[in-house]
Amino acid sequence: MSFTALLNISESRSALNNSFDNVQEMVKALGIFSLSKSYNISSLWASYAKNHTGICIEYYLEDLISKNNGLYQCFDVVYSDTPPDIGVEDINSDTLLQKMIGTKHFDWDKEQEFRIVCDNQGKNHYRSDAVCGIIFGLKTPDESKNELMKLLRNRDIKFKQIVNDGKSYGLHTQDVVNPYDGEVNLINHEKIDFGDIVPDEAYIREDHRVFIPYLYKVATLMRSYPDCIEIFNMDFSETSTVKDPIIYVNFKEKESVYPYSKKIFHINNMI
């Protein structure tokens, strides 16, 4: 083997070591948001919700990451008896993060962990309507429940209470009515000027005209959405059908890195 070949091997090894060093430094700077795919795991309530005195927050994943969607990677945590092997082929692979920060021992598999990873630690902004539910623990104080329901009134957030039937260790939920919610009429749009936001009926597909009131409902919701700075346009999606009518809205969103954001509304979820 020539001296030049030896030199090239040495340079390649040095470059490889530098690559791994860079990856390790990158991982140290990442922000990780850990969630669970299940609300009824007793060990999570004991460890992370102060022995059932806390709460569980339910999110819509799409709204949780869509404000700055391109900045996040999401994946299920993989549980294994052995650490993953990381090779040269992983450096530029989509599986690298999964292997480095998304693998845990089998002892943790009951947590059903799901991770959202971003390239900056600390506070990250998400859409206010990403929160879709609040579940109270078995021992959550009534004062805390009332304070939360009052704070989150009229937000279309479902409140639930963890219960145990006393016959097993299983946890279940019961719906809780928020007494602070007031009636809001979102369909009556006669006195509201929506300008050019809602498309003219003539441009709406004939089989979708029955859903026009929901265009006004969505427009009203978007106007009350605290992160919406300006609505550019809205209409029924190209993939919308009579069985599954879908409305999209393009708008400028507060604290987003993108010039405009898109939000999807499934009418079947609004009925």
- pLDDT beyond 80 at 265: yes
Sign of the torsion angle spanned by Cα atoms 13, 14, 17, 18: negative
The pLDDT confidence band at residue 222, using thresholds 50, 70 and 90, is confident
pLDDT of residue 101: 87
Which SS3 state, helix, strand or coil, does residue 201 take? helix
How much is the average pLDDT of 202-221? Answer: 92
Tell me what the mean pLDDT of segment 184-195 comes to.
51
Q: Is 144's pLDDT higher than 70? A: yes
120 contact partners, CB below 8 Å, separation of at least 6: 29, 31, 71
- Residue 32's nearest CA partner among 160, 120, 108 is 120
Note the pLDDT tens digit of each residue in 93-111: 677 888 888 999 999 999 9
User: What is the rounded CA–CA span in Å between residue 135 and residue 242?
Assistant: 34
* pLDDT band, very low/low/confident/very high, at 260 (cuts 50, 70, 90): confident
| pLDDT band, very low/low/confident/very high, at 194 (cuts 50, 70, 90) | low
Average pLDDT rounded to a whole number, residues 28-34: 89
Q: Could you report the per-residue pLDDT of 42-52, keeping only the tens digit for each?
A: 999 999 999 99
